[in-house]
Structure 1
Amino acid sequence: MTARTNFQLSRRTKLKQLSIAALLSISLHVHAATANIDIAAQSLDQAILSLGKQSGENIAFPSDLASTLKAPAVKGNYSVQQALELLLKGTGLTTQKTPAGYSVVKQVENKTETLPEVQIKDKAIKDITAEYAGGQVARGGKVGLLGNKDLMDTPFSATQYTSKLIEDQQAQNLGDVLVNDPSIRNTYSRGSGRDEFNIRGFTLFNYDAMFNGLYGISPRDSSSMIGIERVEVLRGPNALLNGIAPGGSVGGAINLVPKRAGYQPLKRMTLSYIDDSQLAAHADVARRFGADQQLGVRVNAIKSSGDTPMDGSKERLDAIAIGVDFQGEGFRLEGDLNYQNRLTYARSGLLFVAPGVQIGSAPDARKNYFPSWTYWDSNQISGAARAEFDLTQNWMVYGALGSSEYDFSSLQTSWQLLSQQGDMRTRPTRTKQYVKTLSGEVGVRGKFATGALNHEPVLSVTSYFMESGFLSNRTGAFSFSNLYASPDLAKPGISLVGNVPKSAETRLRSIALADTFSILDKQVQLTLGVRHQEVISNNFDSASGNRVVEEHYDESKLTPVVALVIRPIEQLSFYANYIEGLNQGQIAPNDPINRGKVFPPEVSKQKEAGLKYDFGRFATTISVFEIERPSGITDPSTGIFSVNGKQRNRGIEFLTQGEVVEHVRLLGGLALTDGELVKTEGNTNNGNTAPAVPKQQFNLAAEWDTPMLPGLTITARMLHTGEQYLDAGNTQKISSWNRYDLGARYAFITGKVPVTVRGSIENLFDKNYWLSAAREGLSVGAPRTVLLSVTADF
């Protein structure tokens, strides 16, 4: 939460802060006592906005509260008072006539609670992160070290997907949300039991996703969405903003923002079905306590199990997410406890391809080539707490601490394709693994002015510790099968003996300092910062438990950031940045003559520039970027290993969000990326296209609130991904693919219970296609999948 400020505010800033204080109004002239009202069932804030436009009346309401409530359809000749009463029925809100028009207020014990007088203070995070028009994305979000920022003040390309989008698109896992992003492609399809992503042409592992700003707390394999309010995406390297990612991901950052209790009690139940026969029940309960409702508790729980559309595949999920927050005078506390157990059969793994083998057509996605006895079983419990204390109106200290314990077991097959005709082989492997993490952050944030120059400094210290253990055993002989006619192989008799030994430890420590300078009422903002990152890792011998001396790593690196925002007018924002990404440096392998040499953390560098334009209810972002990432190569003439290889991704992105016209929403965009291998081993592949980097990615999702039946919304989505090379030599590639989705939802009220029925079909034409070539392995897209759900708020 940002600190308050006493800075002199211009008239433009005062208007901006009025909107941040959450009193939205629509000002038109009243021409009649009644009007012909036609409002579809939707969120309450959007319904009130529509009523104001249609009636010409001025209506003030608390947007942070109204955006969490639902309103029924209202159609007919009504006065504003009558229409408001219908919209507010059962919400705990009522309306008052004011000299300026109407005001929506909370009703408490037959009395009304008047809205507080608007104060010009920079403090309302909920307003900065409020839903943008249409409700699918947020107005802004957390930008790592820099805190919460509005879309137009963020000097990076970022999108925040909301819980409304998660619910309306029936997203089960993180990958089901990020399928909406044109800059991102999933490595695995729905129902695979794991999430992994490709952002701006670079892999991002699910365990590098943050939970409320902390690494190591989110589920490692696949993240259930039941307790998530926002999915925040930051594109590009971000070491200064978030520190080094534990898995070394540099293409972007993902932050999961947990749900919190609103001021309206919530009792929501959702029943869902995914074909073949996967059923789920999800409960979402929230309430606030205390005289001023300072204490909030929100509990989400889901139980899901059943067969997926792929033959022999099934999945079971049990998860619970508990979120607590306390809003005190001058301090804020919040905590989360999450548990997730996911068991997936016959859906995990990549198909690797032998050198020189041409890749044939994708197999029938329903005829699963993974044996029915293969499984992934992941079990994780985590907890996190965060606190903020206001030292003064302009200075705040904050801290966060989180911990996680993860246990994993599997019996799996990693296939290798041997011929274009689909011959392939595997050696089944049984594994057990554990991972324990402890992550924390403390910092101080403030505001002050030196003459006409305003400052927003922040100092942060972070620490991350991970201990992991691994035990595996595999069969001695290969098993053979065929991609296009896969028999269900006999289950191998593989056993594991003994406890899982400790295999590795990693410590990541950093200190970061940044300041955002602004002049001319924030029309010009310059951010400068630097982070000192230390990486310490050790590998251990599984038999003796001793540390392997030559596999000890202790290196550090400084990473800077320079970011600029220029806003010549309120609606237009130009931005540019130079920022770096980090991943743990390599240790020279055994073959080179300098074997065992430890290299410092590898630095990926991004240069980016773009513009953002906010039309009011529709916004666009256009950006161009260049990312250079080093890689390890061995010089064939000298035999020396070095980190002098280089991959360079250059791209243009066009992103859209919001309501293009009333009752029509668009979300999507176009990403054009040129991934080039600039320097390779022996210069053999210089100039080639980088593996798993499609040149084109296009998304377009549309929603239309139909006028013929209020409450009915039709949805459609198209995805296009260009061809991808599998290997650095560009001799193996997969074709481009298109996917089409279609759906609808209908919101209505039965008695006093708001109900929403949703249905969608993904991969409408049941196309078989290779989904991804990431990490030199192939994965198959999911077949046509039907999703149905019904949600009721009791």
Structure 2
Amino acid sequence: MVFNYSVIGLAVGAALMTMPVLAQAPNDANIERINVTGRVFNDYKVGTASGAMRGDIDLMDTPQSVNVIPDFVTDEQLATNLAEVLVNDSSVTAGTTRWNRQVFSIRGFELDSGNGYLINGHQQWSHYVQPIETLQQVEVLKGPSSMLYGQSGPGGLVNMVTKKPTYDSMLDLGFDTDGYGSTRVQLDAGGSLNDAQSIRYRSVLVKQDTQYWREYAANGDNQERDRWLGYLNLEFDLSDDLQLALKYDHTEDKTGIDAGSWLDKQGNVIGDRQTIWDAPWAFTDNTVSNLGAELTWHMSDDWKVKVGYNDQQFNRQRLDSAPQYTEDPFTNGYSIKPFDRYDDWQHKTAYVDFTGEFGFAGMEHQFLIGANYLDYYYLQRRDGGKKAITVIPGQAVDMPDYDYHNVVAGPATTYQYYGFYLQDLMTINEQWKLLAGVRYDEQKKEGEGENSYALSPKFGVIYSPTDNGSVYVNYSKSFTPQGAVNNAADMNDGLDLKPEYGIQYEVGTKWELFNDSLLLTAAVFDITLENITVSEKLPTAIGDFTDITTQGGEQKHRGFEMGAQGQIADSWFVTSSMMYLDAEYHTGDEREGNTPIDAPKWSANIWTRYEVTDNLAMNFGAIYVGERYADTANTITKDGYVRFDIGAAYTTQLMGKDVSIRANVKNLFDTDYIEGGQYNMVTLGQERNFSLALETKF
């Protein structure tokens, strides 16, 4: 779980080292334990990203900026949620965590809950805190990726890759706690269910009770969270060429609501940093399950077909106090508008990929043709929320008698979209590779102007002057459907809006140094988001019309990134990145020339591991995020900050089992900082906190 080498790495490393022995002595009981000093693999560096090209193609052969964050690194950091994972990529900036969900931006563009997140290449409805204990790695795909995944934003995608079954038996038990009394217990088990090892499994169980550092203004109680997670992945070798994988996970996550702090016009936090304006009885209760299947047929050594399906059911009750922003809540109090709400989201996704390698016209081709499909369903019930209640800080407010069960549900929102894609990575010679791809998408949704069509191309060129280095350029495009104008007071009411299109030009380079143990990357990018909707008030009302909505606005984001990941000395490992970003609206309205919220000019991070001995390792980390705006008008700013973290881990043997102890200190110097969010819902950085974890491997 938290200290030692990743399970996948251990399984591979152990298998490689023991192959000669196994050939002579298949009985594990006869194998002598061998103590190996030093590393035989690199935990910080990952060579492939399955989401970048819809296949396990080497990152050096991927003409796109991609960062892969392995679970070994985030286990070292004692990460408990996706936000704590993504701090390892400076192109990702955090937004609000309102309503027990996490919002992120990549290269300054906010990720949408419906199309910004993937799990094993499937789009997921991510309106909740994603569990990370089931993940093998997190891939940050930067820039438009609509050619492979359909509707999505121009900044990029986050693809979460889950843990796979293991051939050999393994069992990890872990426990961690922190200075507030939070606890998390984890079990991670895997192995084969038969002697032939043709049926394998991986299972994860998590129980977490979190005590947060912020307190409710009404009674001084801390926010709490209760979560449990179950995960099972089964693999069946139906034949030498045919494999079936079945996956199921279930999450139950209930927490009090902390919609964030408020900032005044000068950017100062209103009241104490610990103050939660929501009522103590407010909560969100999420129940999320995913049932998936994947069938892989190796037709030959060079050709493969993969078919996947996932059914996501997401139910949420949200009893919200909905505090209303005010700059002076202490004089006359502030108002709340409570409501009880039920949400039912259903995501059904499917894909089929046909991949192969062949030679044609003097070139080697890595070919992909496929299709994917999404069926979306959403239903809401809501009771209350009309009457405002005045609250004085320190004054308790009774929980309202609302019940969404008494409300007749309105019509459900549904849509389906499907896309067909074609991609070819052509090797012209040892120095040159060419990537070309195109996708056709169609979205069908009930209602006028709700059908959308899009064509998404992608091109890339890779030049490799040496075996360990490459330079690439790419062009890619994204699209996001916009529907129709729905405002009776708008002159263009009913107008079919065109999709927003994101267009990126990127030039980058990648180098593997120190015998391929360290990966260095750099990229310069230029992204333009077109067809931004602009809604304005008319200078003078025309009949019953007071507003007008048009399209044609743009958002331009330019910048560069650098990154390093891997081993830089025998006992020293590092993962680090930085980004410069220049982001502006060009919309012709009040946003003209302004910078989007949570788009810093500079950001950087580093996390290192130094192995003092074979049993003792030290860690150091730092995160820098520059000044950001907290409102679209750019009148309220959030100061830049630097946060330092440290940690140490010690591994020993206890009754023949590997036992690890880890201690981490996050925000070592107790820096006051704001992570992200708009001025009326900002997420404050946690004060200094100490974490302790134990892990036993069987």
Calculate the TM-score normalised by the size of structure 1. Answer: 0.78
Greater Cα offset, 427-436 or 302-311: 302-311
Contact 2:631 2:679 in 1 (8 A): no
Residue correspondence of structure 1 range 338-417 to structure 2 within 5 A: 338-347=249-258, 349-350=259-260, 357-361=265-269, 364-417=272-325
Secondary structure of the corresponding residue to residue 147 of structure 2: helix
Residue correspondence of structure 1 range 27-106 to structure 2 within 5 A: 43=5, 66-67=11-12, 94=18
Counterpart residue number, 2:111: 204
Alignment counterpart, residue 135 of structure 2, candidates 219, 225, 228: 228
User: How has the CA–CA distance of structure 1 residues 563 and 95 changed in structure 2, closer, same or farther, with 3 Å as cutoff?
Assistant: closer
Residue correspondence of structure 1 range 588-607 to structure 2 within 5 A: 588-590=485-487, 591-607=489-505
Residue correspondence of structure 1 range 678-697 to structure 2 within 5 A: 678-681=586-589, 684-697=590-603
Counterpart residue number, 1:431: 341
Contact 1:577 1:607 in 2 (8 A): yes
Please state how far the C-alpha of 1:310 moved relative to its aligned partner: 2.4
2:391 and 2:263 mapped to 1: Cα distance?
14
2:509 and 2:630 mapped to 1: Cα distance?
34
Contact 1:65 1:263 in 2 (8 A): no
1:680 and 1:341 mapped to 2: Cα distance?
45
2:44 and 2:96 mapped to 1: Cα distance?
24
1:333 and 1:750 mapped to 2: Cα distance?
38
Alignment counterpart, residue 510 of structure 2, candidates 604, 612, 626: 612
Q: Deviations over 1:24-64 (max 9, x none)?
A: xxxxxxxxxxxxxxxxx96499xxxxxxxxxxxxxxxxx96
Please state how far the C-alpha of 1:592 moved relative to its aligned partner: 2.7
User: How has the CA–CA distance of structure 1 residues 672 and 413 changed in structure 2, closer, same or farther, with 3 Å as cutoff?
Assistant: farther
Counterpart residue number, 1:720: 624
Q: Deviations over 1:744-787 (max 9, x none)?
A: 11111212101111121222233332221359842222222322
Larger RCO: 1 or 2 (CA < 8 Å, sep 6+): 2
User: How has the CA–CA distance of structure 1 residues 626 and 739 changed in structure 2, closer, same or farther, with 3 Å as cutoff?
Assistant: same
2:370 and 2:680 mapped to 1: Cα distance?
37
Q: Deviations over 1:173-228 (max 9, x none)?
A: 22221121111122246x97322211110111455321111113x65401112221
Counterpart residue number, 1:468: 378
| Structure 1, unaligned runs of 5 or more | 1-40, 46-62, 70-90, 97-102, 114-130, 539-548
Letter in 2 for 1:460: G
Residue correspondence of structure 1 range 523-542 to structure 2 within 5 A: 523-538=431-446
Secondary structure of the corresponding residue to residue 175 of structure 1: helix
Please state how far the C-alpha of 1:461 moved relative to its aligned partner: 1.0
The alignment's C-alpha RMSD in Å is: 2.9
Greater Cα offset, 406-415 or 459-468: 406-415
Residue correspondence of structure 1 range 567-606 to structure 2 within 5 A: 567-590=464-487, 591-606=489-504
1:593 and 1:353 mapped to 2: Cα distance?
36
Contact 2:9 2:41 in 1 (8 A): no
Alignment counterpart, residue 224 of structure 2, candidates 298, 309, 314: 314
| Structure 2, unaligned runs of 5 or more | 32-38, 216-221
Letter in 1 for 2:557: N
Secondary structure of the corresponding residue to residue 136 of structure 1: coil
User: How has the CA–CA distance of structure 1 residues 368 and 744 changed in structure 2, closer, same or farther, with 3 Å as cutoff?
Assistant: farther
Contact 2:118 2:158 in 1 (8 A): yes
2:193 and 2:276 mapped to 1: Cα distance?
50
Alignment counterpart, residue 461 of structure 2, candidates 564, 568, 571: 564
Residue correspondence of structure 1 range 604-683 to structure 2 within 5 A: 604-615=502-513, 616-630=516-530, 631-634=532-535, 636=538, 640-681=548-589
Contact 2:341 2:380 in 1 (8 A): yes
2:28 and 2:630 mapped to 1: Cα distance?
67
Letter in 1 for 2:439: R
2:168 and 2:24 mapped to 1: Cα distance?
10
1:412 and 1:657 mapped to 2: Cα distance?
43
Secondary structure of the corresponding residue to residue 484 of structure 2: coil
Please state how far the C-alpha of 1:611 moved relative to its aligned partner: 0.6
1:448 and 1:322 mapped to 2: Cα distance?
36
Secondary structure of the corresponding residue to residue 450 of structure 2: strand
1:499 and 1:754 mapped to 2: Cα distance?
57
Q: Deviations over 1:371-400 (max 9, x none)?
A: 221111100111111111122322222210
Secondary structure of the corresponding residue to residue 660 of structure 1: strand
User: How has the CA–CA distance of structure 1 residues 252 and 487 changed in structure 2, closer, same or farther, with 3 Å as cutoff?
Assistant: farther
Letter in 1 for 2:256: Y
Letter in 2 for 1:756: S
2:485 and 2:680 mapped to 1: Cα distance?
21
Letter in 2 for 1:650: R
Calculate the TM-score normalised by the size of structure 2. Answer: 0.89
Counterpart residue number, 1:108: 26
1:520 and 1:506 mapped to 2: Cα distance?
45
Counterpart residue number, 1:507: 416
Secondary structure of the corresponding residue to residue 417 of structure 1: coil
1:718 and 1:774 mapped to 2: Cα distance?
24
Please state how far the C-alpha of 1:624 moved relative to its aligned partner: 0.7
Contact 2:207 2:227 in 1 (8 A): yes
Please state how far the C-alpha of 1:325 moved relative to its aligned partner: 1.4
User: How has the CA–CA distance of structure 1 residues 389 and 461 changed in structure 2, closer, same or farther, with 3 Å as cutoff?
Assistant: same
User: How has the CA–CA distance of structure 1 residues 459 and 44 changed in structure 2, closer, same or farther, with 3 Å as cutoff?
Assistant: closer
User: How has the CA–CA distance of structure 1 residues 353 and 660 changed in structure 2, closer, same or farther, with 3 Å as cutoff?
Assistant: same
User: How has the CA–CA distance of structure 1 residues 322 and 455 changed in structure 2, closer, same or farther, with 3 Å as cutoff?
Assistant: same
Contact 1:623 1:653 in 2 (8 A): yes
Q: Deviations over 1:596-643 (max 9, x none)?
A: 111232211111111111112222111111111131014657965222
The percentage of aligned residue pairs carrying the same residue is 20
Contact 1:335 1:386 in 2 (8 A): yes
